[in-house]
Amino acid sequence: MGSLQLLGDGDLLTRGVAVLLLLMSVASWVVILRKSWVLWRARGDVPRATALFWQAQGMEQALAHLAALDRDRALLPLVEAASSLSPAGSLAGAGSREQQLTRRLRDALHAVLRRLQWGQVLLATVASTAPFVGLLGTVWGIFHALTALAGVRTLTLDQVAGPVGEALVMTAAGLGVAIPALLAYNVMGRLMAAIEADLEGFARDLRELLLEKALP
């Protein structure tokens, strides 16, 4: 009896576990491929765009550099947020220029980081739960295999080892889903930490610059 036949002969829970593991694998790989592309580009674009921004002769030229190099819009939202303060009379426009700049840059930075962190929760969830989902399928498969053999008077090793071994495929499938998600979560977490440090440094330097003089 093969694994496909095991699923075909399995009950609703066995099939549900298999479908759930498949969905978790597909979802995690979609996130892995998309985030790998985004973070790889951002890891190179952010330092280059930051360097050219500070080498520009004025804000107009600096914005042109960002528009050309900041393909994932990691830096542009910070500059755009700092370029226009909130209207007077609103709570957002209350306080000194320093307070308004801090507030707007912080909000823009958080928005960028939330976008870059997309999918991290899913990867962490898949990495932590997929082995247990697979284990559930294994336990349930072993239970049904042993129940089916309960009425057999004479048991051989092949009769027991075959169904039990095939039920263990679910555990292997759970690990196969979880391991790539865990590795991707750790690697992407390190990449995001480096990008976040660059963005925080840029926001802090931009705030200090704008406090010294008004935008051209």
Q: What is the dihedral of CA 191, 176, 121, 35, to 10 degrees?
A: 40
**pLDDT for 215 beyond 50:** no
Contacts of residues 37-40 at CB distance under 8 Å and 24 or more positions apart, as own/partner, are: 38/72, 38/116, 39/116, 39/188, 39/191, 39/192, 39/195, 40/191
Separation CA 164–CA 149 (nearest Å): 11
Q: Which of 54-58, 60-64, 89-93, 183-187 has the lowest mean pLDDT?
A: 89-93
> What is the average pLDDT across 53-69?
84
All residues at 6 or more sequence positions from 127 whose CB lies less than 8 Å from its CB, including other chains: 178, 179, 181, 182, 185
pLDDT class for 63, splitting at 50, 70, 90?
confident
Q: Is residue 138 over pLDDT 70? A: yes
Residue boundaries of the structural domains of the chain = 3-34+75-212
Residue 124 to residue 1: CA distance in whole angstroms: 34
The whole-angstrom separation of Cα 13 and Cα 142 is 13
What is the model's pLDDT at position 199? 93
DSSP 8-state assignment for residue 85: P
Nearest to 207 by CA among 67, 108, 66, 95: 108
The pTM is what? 0.79
pLDDT at 101: 86
Percent of the chain with pLDDT strictly greater than 90: 38
Per-residue pLDDT at 159: 58
Q: What does the pLDDT read at residue 216?
A: 47
Each residue's pLDDT tens digit, 141-195: 777 777 766 666 665 656 555 666 667 888 899 999 999 999 999 999 999 999 9
CB 109 within 8 A of CB 203: yes
* Average pLDDT, rounded, for the chain: 82
